[in-house]
Amino acid sequence: MMYTYTQLEDYIKKLYSFLSIDNPSNIDMKDIASRLKIKLNFWDEKSEATYIGGKFYIWLNKLLPKQEIWEEFGHELCHVLTHEGHQSYMDTEFLHYQEIKAENFALHFCVPTFMLLKYEVVNYHNIKDGIPFVTQTFNVTEKFAKKRLNHFRNQIQQAKSDEQHRKYMESLYRKAPPYSDETNSILHKLNFLLEKKKKGVSL
């Protein structure tokens, strides 16, 4: 199956590559914050991200379970990496938009697609079968794992549908890329003649 990453999935894959992390066992929240030059703090209030004196800060609620703290980190990291300004000055609709975006970012950051694709979880048709694996492997709650797997299953189904469509179209148009050697030779000659004509060379 040919899987095409969404823009967000590709961004997160590149982010983890920058951090030299390619396996769930290597994911460390404090290390990630340090490498991204984000000051990580823990307190007993609601988690939030701030920008003070030219530095980014993420404040996480230390009273939450470890899995939820990791999920909150993913959420707040989105605000640091993609949002600007203090939310207190934003209108309700834009604030809601940012929160939805941050929630979606957290789903993909805490359980990256490029890592999920390495496991048999891609074959699960029953989401319940995959939840224990995702919760243990990526250190997230069952609720979070279920939501992520639902989204992932939809993406996999779309990828399979796209592949079937591609194969069907190729069966209809045999000369579609990749072209045969004969066709490539003809195209090469045509391009050569067109280039000559553009340059005013007599044919």
Each of the 203 residues of the chain gets a pLDDT tens digit; together they read 678 899 999 999 999 999 999 999 999 999 999 999 999 999 999 999 999 998 999 999 999 999 999 999 999 999 999 865 444 445 677 678 889 999 999 999 999 999 999 987 756 667 888 999 999 999 999 999 999 999 998 988 888 887 876 777 777 765 555 666 777 777 777 777 777 766 666 55
> In what helix (H) or strand (E) does residue 56 lie, and over which residues does it extend?
strand 55-61
- The angle, 0 to 180 degrees and rounded to 10, between the axes of the packed helices 92-110 and 7-18 is 60
Domain boundaries, the chain: 7-165
Residues 101 and 78: beta-carbon distance below 8 Å: yes
The CA distance from 194 to 75, in Å, is: 54
> Looking at residue 49, what DSSP letter applies?
E
